[in-house]
């Protein structure tokens, strides 16, 4: 499921320091246990929500659709064909310039 709150060690120390100052050393373990239980409760409820709504499947389907769409866009991109055409035109123009310069008629 990943890290829900994305809290690093430094942030955790800062939170504990503030909690120590606000709650006091006597009640801090009780508050920490309650907070731990609450976080566990939230994780369980979130997992139930994901499971019951089939959100994981929906997310997977959306990622697949995104991948398909990106592939379709990449295939429909005319840039490669335009570059080939440009190169062909450049080559033809250079041949024509060379023929005019040499005084020879262009060859088909």
Is this prediction's pTM over 0.85? no
Domain membership flag for residue 34 = yes
**Distance of alpha carbon 15 from alpha carbon 6, whole angstroms:** 13
> Could you tell me if residue 17 is inside a domain?
yes
- Residue 4 belongs to a domain: no
Q: Is residue 2 part of a domain?
A: no
Work out the average pLDDT over 49-67: 84
1 pLDDT above the threshold of 50: no
Looking at residue 105, what is its pLDDT? 65
Assess if residue 87 is contained within a domain: yes
Structural domain count of the chain: 1
Asked whether residue 3 is domain-assigned, the answer is: no
Look up the domain containing 31 and give its range.
9-100
What's the token pair of residue 48? 């139930």
Under a CB-based contact definition with an 8 Å cutoff, are residues 2 and 43 in contact? no
Structural domain contains residue 32: yes
């Amino acid at each position: 499921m990943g890290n829900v709150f994305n809290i690093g060690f430094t942030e955790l120390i800062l939170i504990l320091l503030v909690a120590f100052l606000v709650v006091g050393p006597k009640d801090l373990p009780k508050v920490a246990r309650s907070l731990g239980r609450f976080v566990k409760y939230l994780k369980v409820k979130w997992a139930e929500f994901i499971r019951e709504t089939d959100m994981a499947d929906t997310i997977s389907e959306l990622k697949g659709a995104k991948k398909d769409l990106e592939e379709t866009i990449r295939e429909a991109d005319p840039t490669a064909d335009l570059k080939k055409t440009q190169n062909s035109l450049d080559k033809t123009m250079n041949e024509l310039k060379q023929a005019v310069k040499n005084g020879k008629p262009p060859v088909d």
